Structure 1
């Protein structure tokens, strides 16, 4: 169950954020995809916790179960 991610239409146009903050889940995922380590991300975002990062990954997994995008051949 995802408890650290919130969606509020009044915050960031309803995009998923960490615990009602303005830190987007996509921002965390993009940082991970760019090669940043968890420690680097946590240093840049002191209010973030390791559990928040894990929940972003869990959220991405849940989305992958429900939608697919065509991949280039």
Structure 2
């Protein structure tokens, strides 16, 4: 996946999630996903993602 492809999946709207970057079409903060990954989580070990 290219950088532009990944960035196209992120939206920033001041009326949604206080303007924090979110996954497009969802109210999941990008920072939350990054926190999970930094903590060692993977898609295989966590069914929440």
TM-score, normalised with respect to structure 1:
0.54
Structure 1 or 2: larger helix share? 1
Deviation at 1:39, TM superposition (A): 1.9
In the alignment of these two chains, the number of paired residues is 44
Aligned mates of 1:6, 1:35 — CA distance in 2: 25
Following TM superposition, the consecutive aligned residue runs of length 4 or more in structure 1 with deviations greater than 2 angstroms are none
Q: Which has the higher contact order (CA 8 A, sep 6+)?
A: 1
Q: Deviations over 1:16-72 (max 9, x none)?
A: 00013110000000000111112234x213xxxxxxxxxxxxxxxxxxxxxxxxxxx
The answer for unaligned runs of 5 or more in structure 1 is 46-73
**Unmatched runs of 5 consecutive residues or more in structure 2:** none
